[in-house]
Amino acid sequence: MRTRILIIYTGGTIGMMKDHSTGTLMPMNFMKIITHLPELNQLPCDIDSYSFKEPIDSADMNPEKWINIAEIIEKNYDDYDGFIILHGSDTMAYTASVLSFLFENLAKPVILTGSQLPIGEIRTDGRENIISAVEIATGNKNGKPIIQEVCIYFEHKLFRGNRSHKFDAEQFRAFRSINYPLLANTGVYISYNNSSIGNFNKGEFKVHKKLDDNIAILKLFPGIKQEVVQSVFNIKGLKAVVMETYGTGNAPTAKWFVDTLKKATDKGIIILNITQCKGGAVELGKYITSLAMANKNNIVSGNDITTESAVTKLMYLFGNYSNDIDKIKKLLTKSLRGEMTEYND
């Protein structure tokens, strides 16, 4: 029986064409993309497609559209063996991260890919990205898909989606995953890193459809003003802040800063402390500059989670456990879909 793959086109550079009157890139019809990929007909699978009615630049991606993508896959889950999402690279890591949380007990490949150059360009990277992503999605061993998680495929590499971030705006090697190994490399052969490939299927597939975006990001920098920090924590309806600190979780020890955090946590705002570094993890209390935060009730260590995963995990948790702050804090310290390393206390 031939493998069935559904390609979902959301927009992004891969499907852009140049408006010669203005010089800007605009989304094109999905079927025009397929005409550039006759190689897909040589793969041992049947491919169908679904396109957003109005394809978007990924800068316009939002929680409503994430739910839309999740519902498309939910509706077609039993009819297909794998899913490819064509997506702009700018927010691809956010979408991959949030989908990993929305999909519980996923047992099929969901692979996001795109390109740095439009599919119609002579040197486009999109052609190889799509073809290899589809081939990986058809990969099967002992009657089961080799990949059973949400991934990003870009420039000969398959990443765990919620461990990835966009690293380069110009090079074809746009993504990296510093704190987690690659799932696969493609060359003459597809080489899978079996020890790194996840299996989060523990029951019936379920799609969660609630996200709460009352989240903010606060990136610290030397000289950050008291008024700036306070304005973030005074946002109406704010439920959590992803605070990007220095190194292993360090932050200013100034009284006004510590007092601002205490006032915020006293109001029930959760602060998820993650590092600004692309590699490594938060270790609250390792240095005196993080000791003041180590024992605050609502300040949680994000360990080695990415910013993209931190934001979307909070959206998912508050969307599904909004009245149970203790449970949310507990789940923030747990790896739900392989998004972080769990360290022993």
- Annotated catalytic sites, by residue? 13
Q: What is the CA radius of gyration of the chain?
A: 21
Task: Provide CB contacts within 8 A for 84, sequence distance 6+.
Answer: 5, 6, 7, 8, 111, 112, 113, 130, 133, 134, 137
DSSP H or E run through 209:
none
Task: Provide CB contacts within 8 A for 162, sequence distance 6+.
Answer: 96, 97, 100, 101, 150, 306, 308, 309, 312, 337, 338, 339
DSSP H or E run through 327:
helix 325-332
Residue 128 CA to its chain's centroid (Å): 21
CB 151 within 8 A of CB 163: no
DSSP H or E run through 48:
strand 45-56
